[in-house]
Amino acid sequence: MFIETETTPNPDALKFLPGKVVMDVGTREFSSPEAAAASPLAEAIFDTGEVVNVFYGWDFVTVTAAPGADWSALKPQVISILLDHFVSEAPLFAGGSAGGIAVPPEDLMAVEERPEDAEIIAAINELLETRVRPAVAGDGGDIAYRGFRDGVVYLTLQGSCSGCPSSTATLKHGIEGLLKHYVPEVAEVRAA
């Protein structure tokens, strides 16, 4: 087995491609060792002591190193952990744990949505799914919809995108411009 790596726009994150499906459905982010307890793979990566985020996409794992970590030492450790996991065909999640999250639960919504905005929300979600998510997945991340209210779309960047120095530009110039162009009711995009 060979695991490819790709850089991301976030200098602290690397995208690892095992050549296999990682998540059948949705994505999953672990932003602490406690959260990583749900996945033996994420837990092992956090156990290196130099990781602050692990993100699973469809066919990739993105790892964000802690400030000051040396990727030249960390990268071989992460590759070894990934090889061990995928070669052994170990389960991605501990027994009974929740797997991927394709749509955020209601309690993660930033605002309460109104039924009269249903068509606008559907158009926003279609654009996010077909145009935005593939682009941010290419950079080792994902985007989570957190609501729409009074012209404002609330989104959360995940994976390598969550701590990326260019995340504000991605939201404001890239995603906001796209949504405003196709959905005139959108006035602004905000991080949630």
Ordered structural domains, the chain, with CATH = 4-88 (3.30.1370.70), 106-191 (3.30.300.130)
Q: At 134, list the tokens.
A: 């593939």
pTM listed for this prediction: 0.78
Output the six-digit token pair for 135: 């682009």
In tens, the pLDDT along 126-182 reads: 999 999 988 888 888 888 899 999 999 999 888 877 777 677 777 888 899 999 999
| 13: three-class secondary structure by DSSP | strand
Query: Quick one: pLDDT at residue 106?
Result: 45
Determine contact, residues 131/143, Cβ cutoff 8 Å: no
Tell me, what's the pLDDT at 105? 45
- Identity at 172, one-letter amino acid code: K
